[in-house]
Structure 1
């Protein structure tokens, strides 16, 4: 007759297999997390580089496009009509014309 298997031996074998599966699963999770951390680090570095490149491009655009516009604005300021002085002269001319009209009539 064969002896019946010992239940404690079966439990010990099953526990050992379960430990092995858990360890394997945990190692898989650790590996996946390591990959995700590396990807996140790369993504952060890429975002910082893109932000730096974008700032440089914006500076170039501002310098290249705003300088001519500022020069054009300055040229317009210099060639504008002195409206305040023209208004004052027109008012004085109107007063003079009114005084002359009063004395002539």
Structure 2
């Protein structure tokens, strides 16, 4: 082996080491990203469950409010009839 071939071999070995190091760094970065993605997915699932529980609780509250509300239409009709009756009584009593 001559000197130029030796230097080429050394440079190729150095390049191989650099590529191997780069690939190892990429694998490490990908592992971190996969772990973060899995953690975010778990957080999202938990958030969805909590949100659904809150929505269900609000639905129960709304249904309770609907059941306990005053029948405003009936009260308005009764008030109108009472007013008309009062007016009629005062008109006839003159």
With the length of structure 1 as denominator, give the TM-score of the two structures.
0.65
Query: What CA distance in whole angstroms lies between the structure 1 residues aligned with 2:54 and 2:33?
Result: 31
Moved over 6 A (4+): none
Q: Which residue number corresponds to residue 68 of structure 2?
A: 76
Counting matched residue pairs gives 93
Alignment of 1:30-69 (within 5 A): 30-67=23-60, 69=61
Q: 1:10 aligns with which of 3, 26, 31?
A: 3
- The gaps in structure 2 that reach 5 residues or longer are none
Question: 1:94, 1:23 → 2: CA distance?
Answer: 104
The alignment's C-alpha RMSD in Å is: 3.0
Partner-residue secondary structure (3-state), 1:60 = helix
The 1-side partners of 2:8 and 2:48 are apart by: 59
CA drift of 1:36 comes to 1.3
| Aligned residue runs from structure 1 range 9-28, under 5 A | 9-28=2-21
- Partner of 2:2: helix, strand, or coil? helix
Measure, in 2, the Cα distance between the counterparts of 1:64 and 1:94: 46
